[in-house]
Structure 1
């Protein structure tokens, strides 16, 4: 069965032809056989073509995935909400009807375009590093003033959003 990306079956890619075993001759030390050298050169060229086809297929998949991707960039000091999933909350504190986004908290630093360190209070007892998919920009109320509140951990984590 042929592969969509390479146009060849995996066996023929690995073994350079349809089922008949071929020794792995990509590195032949001090080989004096002309036919073996030609076979090695052909095999190396064959693998280079396969790599190029796979890279072209990956580039095509990336282009189609990037159509739906939105870039979120934050600066240190920006106020954001963070989404805390079930695995980040203490055991027994998760409720599927409970609060999903917490904040606003400030961005402490940027690791890269995909990860940020958020200035969470120590009461959360979880990693301060978040992926951008779990960070939402904070839009202050109409007054234009943002207030950062401390979190009271004596109350349970459930509640409305």
Structure 2
């Protein structure tokens, strides 16, 4: 009789990691106090209980702006909330001026409403600069001109061809 057992070996149990326990990506970011943009007055920075991962700013008109490092440092969440009051519509003037003032008022972020934007930290080479640009170019303008979403970039202009952007505005998909 032949013994087919392998001599001197003990089977080793295989340890498998469940799918939900996969290795996690994580990015070490500098404290938010070091990369948060400085806003011009009358914006005031508030003290927060976690200054390394959250920053908040207040405006005398009641507007607030916040920044937070999301879990594992993969993203920075930013938001701006409109204050409680809209600018008044001026008394008097022509009907056209009042209609324009009402249209400007309606185009604003309404009181108590919030607009969010996220900065992907993996795609950023200069985190402080990109965060400052996001706050300056996307969040602060939302107070006066409510964003509808990210517009598609315009097609490159060709020399000698007419501008077709005004013709395409009337087309609905």
Classify the TM-score, shorter chain.
under 0.3
Q: Could you tell me the TM-score, scaled by structure 2's length?
A: 0.24
Looking at both structures, which has the greater relative contact order when contacts are Cα pairs under 8 Å and sequence separation is at least 6? 1
